[in-house]
């Protein structure tokens, strides 16, 4: 039943909201593995990013969402019905981390924004350690995702959407072990750099030229807790 409801909500959002605001296109969808644990790791610049990815991803997504959203009338029950799970911001939410790992260990698909917070559409932050930790401990495949256009349709701090085309670009998947084979113990540090590079290239290829930022990475625990939808 959950699958049918998820598919209906996704169809409704794609064919009403995104069609009305200028259109939504997903490219490289064949890069998402059809089975097994997958981490979808997109660039994050707008509140539209989670639904835009969900509407183009060929697999059903599991979400981490900041716990405040579950208290919002109408929105809260809807995201709960889609199997989103709450994440406490600003503190070590080990329950959410364990839940995320359990979802991946069951072979599900989890969306995690690797920068840990929304950007400004101008630069891309270094990747937090959260995706690295989840990929290392679960063996999940990581799919880098470039997002172009949401920063114009609904930029940070704006409540009313504008019209504009949105492109979600799925890149080549890779695993922690792929990086470990080449870099050994240094993989813990290199993995995030490789992910950032791939996301950056996907955004640039599809029309969003981003700069890189030198903001320090966070610890594994804080990285996950700062990665809400």
Hey, what domains does the chain have and what are their CATH numbers?
2-225 (3.40.1130.10)
Q: What are phi and psi of 64, to 5 degrees?
A: -100, 130
Q: E-assigned strands of the chain? A: 24-27, 38-42, 62-66, 85-87, 109-111, 123-124, 141-148, 166-170, 211-212
Rounded Cα–Cα distance for residues 210 and 126 (Å): 12
3-state secondary structure of 187: helix
When pLDDT is cut at 50, 70 and 90, the band that residue 119 belongs to is confident
Rounded Cα–Cα distance for residues 218 and 202 (Å): 24
Element (H, E) at 87: strand 85-87
By mean pLDDT, which of 31-40, 73-82, 146-155, 217-226 is the weakest? 217-226
- For 29, 47, 122, 150, the CA distances from 118, given in Å and listed in that order, are 23, 8, 11, 11
Rounded Cα–Cα distance for residues 66 and 93 (Å): 11
Q: What is the pLDDT of residues 173-197, one digit of tens each?
A: 999 999 999 999 999 999 999 999 9
3-state secondary structure of 27: strand
Rounded Cα–Cα distance for residues 24 and 159 (Å): 19
So what's the pLDDT on residue 216?
Answer: 45
So what's the pLDDT on residue 177?
Answer: 97
Q: Greatest CA span in the chain, whole angstroms?
A: 49
Rounded Cα–Cα distance for residues 92 and 32 (Å): 30
The 10 Å Cβ neighbour count of residue 62 is: 20
């Amino acid at each position: 039943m959950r699958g049918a409801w998820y598919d209906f909500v996704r169809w409704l959002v794609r064919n009403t909201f995104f069609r009305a605001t200028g259109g939504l296109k997903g490219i490289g969808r064949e890069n998402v593995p059809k089975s097994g644990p997958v981490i979808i790791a997109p660039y994050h610049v707008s509140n539209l990013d989670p639904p835009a990815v969900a509407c183009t991803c060929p697999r059903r997504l599991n979400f981490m969402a900041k716990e405040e959203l579950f208290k919002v009338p109408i929105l809260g029950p809807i995201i709960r019905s889609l199997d989103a799970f709450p994440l406490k911001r600003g503190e070590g939410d080990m329950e959410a981390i364990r839940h995320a790992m359990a979802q991946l260990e069951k072979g599900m698909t989890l969306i995690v924004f690797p920068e840990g917070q929304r950007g400004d559409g101008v630069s891309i932050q270094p990747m937090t350690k959260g995706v690295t930790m989840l990929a290392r401990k679960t063996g999940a495949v990581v799919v880098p995702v470039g997002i172009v256009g949401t920063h114009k349709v609904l930029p940070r701090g704006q409540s009313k959407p504008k019209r504009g085309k949105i492109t979600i670009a799925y890149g080549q998947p890779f695993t922690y072990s792929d990086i470990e084979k080449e870099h050994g113990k240094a993989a813990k540090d290199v993995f995030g750099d490789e992910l950032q590079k791939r996301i950056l290239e996907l955004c640039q290829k599809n029309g969003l030229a981003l700069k890189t930022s030198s903001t320090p990475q966070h610890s594994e625990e804080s990285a996950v807790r700062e990665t809400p939808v």
